[in-house]
Amino acid sequence: MLEILEKINGVLWGAPSLILLSGTGLFLTFVLKGMQFTKLLHAFKLAFVPDKSQDDSEGDISNFKALMTSLAGMIGNGNIAGVATAVTLGGPGAVFWMWVVGLLGMTTKYAEALLAMKYREQNANGEYSSGPMYYIEKGLGSRYKFLAVAFAMFGAFASLGIGNSVQSNTIADVMTNSFNVSGFITGIILAILISLIIFGGLKRISNVAGVFVPMMAIFYIGAAVTIILINYDKIIPAFGLIFQYAFTPVSAAGGFTGIMVMQAVQNGVSKGIFSNEAGLGTVALISGNAKSGHPAIQALVAMTGTFIVTIVVCTMTALVLLVTGYWDPSGGLLSGVSHDPKLEAGALTSVAFGSSLGMLGEYVVSLSVIFFGFSTIIAWFVYGAKCFEYLFGVKYVMLYGVIYVAATFLGTVADLRTVWLFADVANAMMMIPNLIGILLLYKVVKEETEDYFKPSLRKVS
């Protein structure tokens, strides 16, 4: 079973899928005239400067809280272990390609959020429901409903795997290894905390995310910046490594057996997508709840999330590994810093932090894994609940909540190798119908964008 799943996963996340994801971002960048560059400052203003005029708009939560909830799902262990994996497998050049896919993914995120707002609908409880399943069915017609159903099915499954039990399993491992707390105890605590939050409804979830995510990001980024400043003389050489090995192979030595540029590209692209979720459609599952007077407003706000995750958070992790010399999996033959070559990605990041901050640095990584994983569990409940609601109706969402809490506990005590693979497959199967929907509805995205930026309506910086 594991071998079969590994082969399926290899095909689904192989070169064709990565080309499709990156190609969609490139196509939308052309269609939208590079708006992720020209409108970025305006997007950040919409995200972080309070606009009272939006308070009276239809929706359930503010643009800021919608962004924080989506960031809760994106800022996760992919920003720690995922980045380290990309650098150790693909060399420093993988960071460059992670930036590329992040910048291209900003337009994909924009399109997802805009379509979510455009085709959202109110459920029986008066809350808004949105997501790829709604814009596929309503935007493309009933003949495409099978794609909408497929997205919802795989989205619901993925929420129990990569968004929940896999995260709780990682948290349990850290609690055992760093704080000597058993997985069973961790599972009970997590199940109670998650229940208190998710059964309080979307507004409680968004309120928690609105406080938790900024605090969590500042904590991790602050520690990373401190390490980078301590090693300030290596900052420019670190960027030199990134640009040098983005286009030239890493010389064969030690743990590296001659990493080609293609490996840097593949690892950078795949881990970049894993960290920012551009193309998976997850941001569309929360964006429709935002109070926005125009679909493009929330879309611009959502776009900033990809920038924050990939260009800021992931870059901080990468720079820590590079300036401390812990990017070399061979144990120091290339970087000159000696370490155990058997260290895995997450552990390597921990050691890199500890090399400058001592035991405090290692605790920073451990606590970040716990906080990041916890926030991901909260956000993915929203995603899975939206999918479950589409399939079975809003009255069964409570049942899904019970299943979700159970999956949180089971994740802390179970062997999740099979769940990991199923979740990866489910993520890929979410991506395919979502990208089909976006590409077929690109004219709607273009028209709504042009409508918002009409000079006659408003002057936009």
Give the pLDDT score at 254. Answer: 45
- The Cα–Cα gap between 385 and 237 comes to 46
Confidence of residue 334 (pLDDT cuts 50, 70, 90): low
- Listed range (49-58, 103-112, 225-234, 371-380) with the worst mean pLDDT: 49-58
Kindly report the CATH number that applies to the domain delimited by 62-449: 1.20.1740.10
Judged against a pLDDT cut of 70, whether residue 288 lies above it is answered with yes
**pLDDT tens digits for 208-225?**
888 888 888 889 999 999
- pTM for the whole structure: 0.90
Give the pLDDT score at 461. Answer: 40
Give the pLDDT score at 262. Answer: 62
- Mean pLDDT for 62-84 is 83
Give the pLDDT score at 423. Answer: 73
Confidence of residue 261 (pLDDT cuts 50, 70, 90): low
- Mean pLDDT for 391-408 is 94
Give the pLDDT score at 256. Answer: 54
Judged against a pLDDT cut of 60, whether residue 259 lies above it is answered with no
> What percent of the chain stands above pLDDT 90?
47
Confidence of residue 428 (pLDDT cuts 50, 70, 90): confident
* Residues in Cβ contact with 416 at an 8 Å cutoff, skipping those fewer than 6 apart: 165, 166, 169
Give the pLDDT score at 459. Answer: 46
- Mean pLDDT for 258-282 is 69
* Residues in Cβ contact with 241 at an 8 Å cutoff, skipping those fewer than 6 apart: 92, 93, 322, 327
Confidence of residue 274 (pLDDT cuts 50, 70, 90): low
> What percent of the chain stands above pLDDT 70?
88
Judged against a pLDDT cut of 80, whether residue 415 lies above it is answered with no
- Mean pLDDT for 410-419 is 79
Domain boundary assignment for the chain? 62-449
Give the pLDDT score at 75. Answer: 81
